[in-house]
Amino acid sequence: MKLVVLAWFVLAVTAVKHELFKTCAQSGFCTRQRHYANHVSTSHYAIDPKSISISTDKVEAQLIKKWPGHSIAFPISIHGIVGNQLRVIIDEDRSSAQGETGLVNPRRYNETGKWAFNGGQVETQAFKSAKVQKNQLVIEYGEHSRAEIDLAQFVINFFYDGELELSVNENNYLNIEHWREEDEADEDGNLMAEELDFDLFSDSFKDSAADSVPVGPESVALDFQFKKHHHLYGIPEHSDQFRLPSTKGGEPFRLYNVDIFEYETSSRLPMYGSIPFVIAPGSSSVGVFWVNAADTWVDIDYNDEGSHTHFMSENGVVDFIVTIEPKVADVNRQYGKVVGNTMLPPLFSLGYHQCRWNYNDEADVLDINSKFDEHGIPYDTIWLDVEYADRKHYFTWQEDKFPNPGRMARKLDRIGRHLVVIIDPHLATGYFASEELIDDGSEMKNSKGETFKGHCWPGESVWVDTLNPKGRAFWAFQYQRFLSNYTTKNVHFWNDMNEPSVFDGPETTAPKDNLHFGNWEHRSIHNIYGLTLHEATYSTINDGDERPFILTRSYYAGSQRTAAMWFGDNLPTWEHLRTSVSMLLTHNVVNYPFVGVDIGGFFGDPSPELLTRWFQTSIFYPFMRQHAHLDTRRREPWVAGGVYTDAMRNAIRLRYSMLPIWYTAFHQSALTGVPVVKPMFYEVNDDAVMEIEDQFFVGDSGIMAKPVMDAGANKVKMYIPQGQHKYIDYTDGDFGSSVKVYQPGTTATIGAPITSIPMVVRQGSAFFRKRRYRRSTRLMAQDPYTLTIVVDDNGNAHGRLYIDDGHSFSYKQGEFLELEVTATASAITVDVVSQDSSDANYSAQLAAMVEIDQIQVVSASGFADVSSVSADSGADTHYVIDGSVMTITAHHPISQSMTLTISRDVVDEL
């Protein structure tokens, strides 16, 4: 009992400090916009019909804001963009503000897309037609989509195949706080009747009182009504449930990148990253991307008609993109054409990562490295936190502890292992890097245009401005100089604290009136700062040969192109374990699959049971890393000992054996934007799965998992989806001596002692694994594949495998292999469907080195009628039937197609 009380006390005193972060009631613009929404009854906005100009892919007009005695025009443009999507932008003419805002650029910030969009811009697409008829602007785009804009009320209705799917501004929440000077008091009518004057030109929040608010009120807000859609997902990052809960009567979700530190679960507080994209699956699926990098609050509500969102941003333009497609995966595919899809990560980064704050010195690093081998546990990467650097001065080493980092990297490289070191955007004052940054003039500035100085890990620091081309060049030079000491290519980087985290700043970040390149206020670009930093890192270390690996903490839409991400400073609780899976699914549905969480919690010391269950869950995190605070006890997998170490070892080995599945899933995501870890509604048409957040599918493998995430549990109840397919028990990646079959539309009880990981496989699936234990992914390269086929009741199955060298960009020149597996009752075919677009060198190498050595076929009805198995190549085949499992020894070169014919005895039914 004393231990329980102590554990509670430790967690209680390390809880998030709510007083550091604003509530909506403490945020001027959130309070004002919510008040407006609660009081507005008719639209104050209309499009001037005489101003409409129509071209092949764009409509331009003037949107007029009216209230008694006043009229303000806002330029509006509607664009057809690639992927049958529609983009709407509402700006403001601020020419009258020129010279009235001091150093600050007076225009509304409209460059978020420059950073979020793949390539910095989005490709346009011509409308099918666009015309004004009666009091409507009607735009037909794509083969199935139509938008109808009510000119008088400014309501936009989006249709797909004639069905209304989305209404924009149906509730009249559109509100653009126009430019005004502070001496223009509300007596002259600058406030509408529905508006408040709370914090128009100042910030009353105690830690933000110094905010000069030089441009005054300039927030924007808009509502979206999703018709017939009763489930909304997305808008990370939040440690809350997967299906977005209603915020009615409570706090909105907040998108504002901060160092949340010891965050809670079931919380709408801001976290480290922001992706203002919401997705609504259904008979037709809808996505809305709110293209704004400022502080943003989002209200969610549900009603009989569907669901409703209210986006409120502190400044910038109104800019949103609407995607409507028949399937939810199609929304990801089209959205990915705008922001880009995940990078195809180097294979080693899908292995296991070992990290803590901090490994003490070179001897400690190499000792941990060898202990993995002693305990038979594979791993690929060891990490160093801030203590490796001399006085936390990035781009340096503590020479007494790490006298020869190049030698250390070479020792790791001998068995294919990698090193990641942390480099943050804050640079301590008074050493070469910060002095070079200030001399260069590419640091973040304060509101007076002077060097901004704040506190972070090394003490007083300055921050690089990576929106500035000179800042990016400075960043590149520092990395290039740092890397010049290494002869190996196994050193990679971790950009942490890049929200940016400022210990003495308001809400743990930079003051909003700081200045960036172009004299843009920090309040305008805050949520993209982290993206600009890790993209600058990626550009620097990308030599065009080896694929870079970078981990970021702060992110925005588009970050998935260049960096993995993790969920920050979590706690060692079962609630945090469960929430990690909800967050994992949320990021996957917004095209950011390469994510993970600190296994076991960053703070505190998890119990052996919790740590073991967390390891078992983590084999389903695309990014699998254990990390821990400086004050925690060591918790490498062998520390717990006994059954716990055995279970952790087996979990990590299972992850490695499944790497062909993970790599194939990432390749598919890189091409199409589909999740790597799929919520169940991506794979099955069953209303009962819409709110399930503790089980999921792994890529297209047909594997469905439900890890144990409750203390003391020795079984799980797994929902088996409705449909035509049964599911086969695959606990621990093994079908067992007797195959268990689960019927669709039922709940299966699956035993799960501390050593077990509950999984099932859907009939009709096929996938590849590598079953030999190796110490790292590089050492697995020439290992044979095992093909597993789980046929349906008709004997059919389908699957794919993608292979390349796992580390270079050679796949972009055609050096890859893609296999398609098709099984019927009478044959198994493995076809090479994509191979070496330029030459056959890679395939020839694979044929000489790598083979399919075994094919495992699972059938619920068994194989009693099988009389022979023969290969089209004439090679000898040997098979063994054990109940419902037939194992065929193949020894077939991986880069050559093959067909196995299955002969069956004719059953005499007379």
Average pLDDT, the chain: 96
In the prediction, which pLDDT does 457 show?
98
In the prediction, which pLDDT does 61 show?
99
Of the candidates 280, 221, 276, 222, the one whose C-alpha atom is nearest the C-alpha of residue 253 is 276
Question: Is-catalytic flag, 499?
Answer: yes
**Backbone phi and psi for residue 655, each to the nearest 5 degrees, phi listed first:** -55, -45
In the prediction, which pLDDT does 843 show?
72
Q: Is the pLDDT of residue 320 over 80?
A: yes
What average pLDDT does range 193-217 have in this prediction?
A: 96
In the prediction, which pLDDT does 12 show?
41
pLDDT interval class at 834 (50, 70, 90): confident
Q: Read off the pLDDT of residues 59-107 as tens digits, 9 standing for 90 and up.
A: 999 999 999 999 999 999 999 999 999 999 999 999 888 788 899 999 9
d(CA 307, CA 228): 8
**Which of 534-543, 612-621, 826-835 is the least confident region?**
826-835
pLDDT interval class at 381 (50, 70, 90): very high
CB-based contacts of 693-699 (< 8 A; 24+ apart in sequence): 693/241, 693/242, 693/243, 693/581, 693/582, 693/585, 694/578, 694/581, 695/719, 696/581, 696/584, 696/585, 696/620, 698/620, 698/658, 698/661, 698/662, 698/665, 699/661, 699/662, 699/664, 699/665, 699/668
Q: Is the pLDDT of residue 1 over 60?
A: no
In the prediction, which pLDDT does 185 show?
55
Among residues of the chain, what percentage have pLDDT more than 70? 96
What average pLDDT does range 707-720 have in this prediction?
A: 99
Q: Read off the pLDDT of residues 738-766 as tens digits, 9 standing for 90 and up.
A: 899 999 999 999 999 999 999 999 999 99
**Which of 186-200, 314-328, 747-761, 775-789 is the least confident region?**
186-200
In the prediction, which pLDDT does 889 show?
95
In the prediction, which pLDDT does 838 show?
54
In the prediction, which pLDDT does 839 show?
55
Q: Could you tell me which residues come within 8 angstroms of residue 693 by beta carbon, excluding any fewer than 6 positions away?
A: 241, 242, 243, 581, 582, 585, 679
Q: Read off the pLDDT of residues 14-35 as tens digits, 9 standing for 90 and up.
A: 578 999 999 999 999 999 999 9
pLDDT interval class at 430 (50, 70, 90): very high
Q: Is there a contact between 354 and 360 (Cβ–Cβ < 8 Å)?
A: no
What average pLDDT does range 253-276 have in this prediction?
A: 97
Of the candidates 488, 506, 509, 487, the one whose C-alpha atom is nearest the C-alpha of residue 498 is 509
Q: Is the pLDDT of residue 306 over 80?
A: yes
Q: Is the pLDDT of residue 322 over 90?
A: yes
Catalytic, out of 218, 240, 499, 694 = 499
In the prediction, which pLDDT does 849 show?
84
In the prediction, which pLDDT does 15 show?
75
Q: Read off the pLDDT of residues 346-374 as tens digits, 9 standing for 90 and up.
A: 999 999 999 999 999 999 999 999 999 99
What average pLDDT does range 120-134 have in this prediction?
A: 97
In the prediction, which pLDDT does 3 show?
39
CATH numbers and ranges of domains, the chain: 18-229+281-339 (2.60.40), 348-641 (3.20.20.80), 784-909 (2.60.40.1180)
Give CA separation, 849 vs 347, 413, 781, in Å.
18, 22, 9
Catalytic, out of 92, 194, 496, 513 = 496
Q: Could you tell me which residues come within 8 angstroms of residue 865 by beta carbon, excluding any fewer than 6 positions away?
A: 904, 905, 907
DSSP-H helix ranges across 486-573: 522-525, 529-541
- The whole-angstrom distance between residue 507's C-alpha and the CA centroid of its chain comes to 24
Q: Is the pLDDT of residue 685 over 50?
A: yes
Catalytic, out of 165, 314, 330, 569 = 569
Length of the chain: 910
Q: Is the pLDDT of residue 6 over 60?
A: no
d(CA 693, CA 242): 6
Question: Is-catalytic flag, 435?
Answer: no
| Rg over CA atoms, the chain | 28
Q: Is the pLDDT of residue 643 over 50?
A: yes
Question: Is-catalytic flag, 815?
Answer: no
Q: Is there a contact between 703 and 767 (Cβ–Cβ < 8 Å)?
A: yes
Q: Is the pLDDT of residue 875 over 80?
A: no
> Alpha-carbon torsion 767, 773, 774, 776, what sign?
positive
186 or 287, higher pLDDT: 287
Residue by residue, DSSP assigns 154-195 as: TEEEEEETTEEEEEESTT---EE-----TTS-GGGT-S-TT-
What average pLDDT does range 468-485 have in this prediction?
A: 97
